[in-house]
Amino acid sequence: MRSRAWIAMLALTVAAACTREVVPATPEAPMPAPVPAAAERAPEWREAVTRVAEKAERGVVQIRTARVLGVDEDSLWSAHHFGLARRVDNVGSGIVYRADGVILTNDHVVRGAGRILVTLPGGQTMEAHVIGSDRLTDLALLKVDASGLEVLRLAADAKPAVGEWVVTVGSPFGLAGSVSAGVVSAIGRKDMGLQRYERFIQTDAAINQGNSGGPLLDLEGRVIGINTAIMAGANGVGFAIPADMAGEIAEALLKDGSVGRGYLGVRIQDPTTTCSAYLRRVPRAEGGVLVNRVFEDGAAHAGGVREMDVMLDFDAAALRNSTHLQNVVAEAPPGTEHRITLWRDGREIVVPVSLKPFPNDDESDSIIVKRETDRIGAMVRETKRTNRDTAVTEPAVAVDHVAIGSPADLAGLAAGDVIVDIEDRKITSRAVYDQMLRSLPKGGLALMLVDRAGAEVHLAVALPGLKRRLHGR
């Protein structure tokens, strides 16, 4: 009897538990909607990419160029006669900027081209000419004799976010209309050593040779950037010029054929904490720009700026870093008046400057830069090394920085390397190093012996220029 009573009690308890009402902890809060599984969201993502690709392909063109390398105009006939000249065909991409046949692309796609052919989305190929180009941002405008083209508009107000999905369309390796997708890896990339003015969008969407000048689009089909470069030796690291910068340059080229920029005439860097302390406690923990050199032909010299001044404000706007100053000055027209707040000898002073026109010479050193690289794209300093054979400490030259994509980078030179000799000549000082670089012929190869963490390796660096590129690759 006791066992039956126990079983009955257990049954009632279980029944009560099974029928007990479950009360939410917060009855007023709605239950969250179920999150779609990845498999359910995939079709939506695929459809978005497809829509963007279909729209973009109607406004993307293929660009082919041809040029002859290795000769000057005076020797063109003899070079062809003896079979020394080399014709180089290049391929790139571009977007329709205006319906009447204006095309936006990269400057490096068409620079030095003897002939430019543009293939429109409908398949028609026609010759193009350059309206204007800007080497410092690597952008150019072309014109073809066409009308009624579908325009891909630059989204100047776009604010791409890291992790956002993006699409590229272009002609990698000449394969027109190729589409790839990826994400925004970073924004505001600078100091890459690719261009004078840098504020890149970084993406892992496939960008290859031939994609240059093509669009980087968001999933709404807006052009948020112009693809321009990849990191040498890396996969999935590409860079695009942001749409707002591309649009400003394109409009300037359309109007004047060139970009008018202000010229301050200083060489600068971001001040380190120890520099700030040395300069008697610069009043701001962050920001400011240290002046390394003032050029006599510049606006800064005329206004009274000195070496070792720290620039704090430009027209009362705080300067975040050297790149910020560089962009502010570049956007200001020549001849405009400005006021710069400086930190000098423990106090603030304000000086007036009237910006001068930016020098026409692309190789001019009178441009504000953070890193000054040499002919092969390296920065070096004097150091000491221990000779492995004699155990004697001797003077040498060490590499501090190598610009991405430069001849030094492509040859394998890296920061920390010690240059032992160039073309069998011992490198014992910065002066000897500079002299050797100047003496080597353009377009040739320079053999370097490098001490890398105690191991000696040889590197062959291709020197910029054309004169020795006569016998092909």
- Give the residue numbers marked as catalytic: 108, 138, 212
The set of residues, in sequence order, having a beta carbon less than 8 Å from that of 93 and lying 6+ positions away, is 60, 61, 62, 63, 105, 109, 169, 170, 171, 210, 211, 212, 213, 214, 227
The Cα 179–Cα 54 span in angstroms is 10
Per the rule left: phi > 0, alpha: psi between -120 and 50, beta: everything else, 329 is: alpha
Q: Do residues 450 and 418 touch, judged by C-beta distance below 8 A?
A: yes
Separation CA 69–CA 85 (nearest Å): 6
3-state class of 409 per DSSP?
helix
Q: Side-chain half-sphere of 50: how many Cα atoms within 13 Å?
A: 6
CA distance 407 to 398: 17
Which residues, other chains included, contact 8 with Cβ-Cβ below 8 Å and sequence gap of 6+?
none
Q: DSSP class of residue 194?
A: S
Tell which residue, 233, 200, 201, 227, has the closest CA to residue 214: 227
Maximal C-alpha separation, the chain: 122
Q: 267: exposed, middle or buried (C-beta count within 10 Å: 0-12, 13-18, 19+)?
A: buried
C-beta pairs of 229-237 under 8 Å, 24+ apart in sequence: 229/138, 229/192, 229/194, 229/200, 229/405, 231/404, 231/405, 232/404, 232/405, 232/409, 232/410, 236/182, 236/204, 236/206, 237/185, 237/202, 237/204
CA–CA dist 93, 463 (Å, integer):
27
- The C-alpha angle 225, 229, 231, rounded to 5 degrees, equals 130
Which two three-digit tokens encode residue 140? Answer: 């150019």
DSSP assignment of 175-193: -TTEEEEEEEEEEEE---S
